[in-house]
Amino acid sequence: MTANQKMTLRVILTEADIRKLCNLTDTEELPVKPTVKVMPVLELVTVSSVEVFSDTPSTADTDILLHLSQERQKQWPEFFDIPTFSVDVEYRLRQADLLFMSEGTYLKVSKELKHEILERLAESMYSYTAYPIAAQFESVATALIYKHPCLQEQGSTTRCCGWKNSLKHKMANYRTKRRQSGCLDVAVNAGKRGKHSAGQPANKRIKKANKGEINYLPNFPEGFDQAALEGACKDLVDEMQKRTPNGPLVKQKMDQTFALRRKKVVDLVDLNSVFFVLCIFQVFMEFSRIVGKNLKQEFYESIDRHSPRLLELFRSKRESDDDDSFRDLDIGILLIEREGAVLTSSQHLSPASLKIIIEGEVVMDNIQDLPKAMCILFGLMYALHLKYPKTMKLTFQFIQQVLLLLGHTDLKPKLQTLKNQLAM
């Protein structure tokens, strides 16, 4: 069965089988060797060449591929949904909520009950991020007392300060458990106090997501070690060198080796092999794997929404030109025009050609328009785990935090001022 086929399993029970099961009076009457007839039904799904080489992840890709190497698939929600606790805890909370609504009596939380609540909340929070920020702890604590008002704290100004502090400690303990079980996104930060190995210095380089990544350093897919994934990478490179690569195979291998690529870019090891497989349409797929968002769609939608106001603000500012050679650029976009052509402001959006520059070298060219070039450049910042250059830091932070709503919600003063002006 190929990757573009679905298989549906149907279990068929005859009327006689059902009658036998319904009329049982003793388990000894069950058949000694009961059998189930399984009939596979193949449903072929047509995959067009446009979809195979599309730069936008499809629903089928999400269903088939994401389970291989991505632990998280969603950004932190706007409103945190409190998970369902165990049956015993849910019953006790429900009874306490009823008592609170009828008599205004707060629940006196026992140590054992608090442990179970915090443990379940930490597990749910970890499904979004291993390192929640203060605002996220606040949102969880607020959601908890909103769903279960009996848990409010009378001595707290927000009614949930104690829960917020307890969540911070519980999350740290939960990370320790995950680290001991081998989860890479927290194991990479082990030993920051020098306790990870006798005689080794403390680990001062703490690595964690700071740009909204949900799959910062995922574990290898189940059943694969580094050697197996290196072999898959070699197969991927061989396929990419063909004149007409097999689109579905490339997408499957890209997702399968995603965890290995992240390990290389975070540890700054063999980045050339990572960049080789990141052609234009794979940059968007890689961004989706890292942050769980459709970069191209959300970037264009935000630009369309803010363009009128942005143009007004740009016209009110003094324009300036720089003639420095692109060889001195760490990161940039190079516009190429035909010799003798007279450029207007509108022609800058669609010049003859556009090239992306990283560390003074052209890494991608023949890009059709400036918005797409900027979109690809931003995707490469995530795919290659690059730091924002100082001269463009606010520009990239504007795209990340304002246009794509990724990472911290607290904005720097200049960005907050610009966001306020856009909302006018």
R_g (Cα) of the chain, nearest Å:
27
Distance in angstroms (rounded) separating the CA atoms of residues 402 and 395: 10
Range of the domain at 27: 5-54
Higher-pLDDT residue of 188, 28: 188
Q: What percent of the chain has pLDDT over 70?
A: 71
Mean pLDDT of 312-322: 62
In this structure, are 41 and 96 located in the same domain?
no
pLDDT for 22: 56
Is 157 part of a structural domain of the chain? yes
In this structure, are 23 and 106 located in the same domain?
no
Name every residue whose Cβ is closer than 8 Å to that of residue 119 and which is 6 or more positions away in sequence: 170, 174
Helix (DSSP H) and strand (DSSP E) numbers for the chain: 17, 5
pLDDT for 73: 80
The pLDDT confidence band at residue 327, using thresholds 50, 70 and 90, is low
pTM: 0.68
Task: Decide: 355 and 334 in contact? Cβ < 8 Å.
Answer: yes
Would you say residue 289 has pLDDT above 80?
yes
Would you say residue 146 has pLDDT above 90?
yes
Is 384 part of a structural domain of the chain? yes
Domain end call among 154, 187, 220: 187
Is 221 part of a structural domain of the chain? no
The domain tally of the chain equals: 3
Would you say residue 321 has pLDDT above 60?
no
Distance in angstroms (rounded) separating the CA atoms of residues 396 and 356: 15
Mean pLDDT of 183-188: 86
Average pLDDT, the chain: 78
In Å, what is the CA distance from 95 to each residue of 35, 86, 163, 205, 341?
45, 14, 20, 48, 77
What are the beta bridge partners of residue 21? Answer: none
Task: Decide: 289 and 385 in contact? Cβ < 8 Å.
Answer: no
In this structure, are 302 and 416 located in the same domain?
yes
Lowest mean pLDDT across 50-64, 202-216, 302-316, 377-391: 50-64
pLDDT in tens, 15-68: 555 555 555 566 666 565 555 554 544 444 444 444 444 544 444 444 334 444
Is 259 part of a structural domain of the chain? no
Would you say residue 244 has pLDDT above 70?
yes
Is 224 part of a structural domain of the chain? no
Task: Decide: 415 and 398 in contact? Cβ < 8 Å.
Answer: yes
Domain end call among 187, 221, 251: 187
Distance in angstroms (rounded) separating the CA atoms of residues 424 and 416: 13
The pLDDT confidence band at residue 116, using thresholds 50, 70 and 90, is very high
Is 217 part of a structural domain of the chain? no
Other CB atoms within 10 Å distance of the CB of residue 231: 12
Higher-pLDDT residue of 198, 287: 287
Task: Decide: 170 and 108 in contact? Cβ < 8 Å.
Answer: no
Q: What distance lies between CA 336 and its chain's CA centroid?
A: 34
Name every residue whose Cβ is closer than 8 Å to that of residue 77 and which is 6 or more positions away in sequence: 128
Is 401 part of a structural domain of the chain? yes
Tokens of 338: 């035909």
The pLDDT confidence band at residue 193, using thresholds 50, 70 and 90, is low
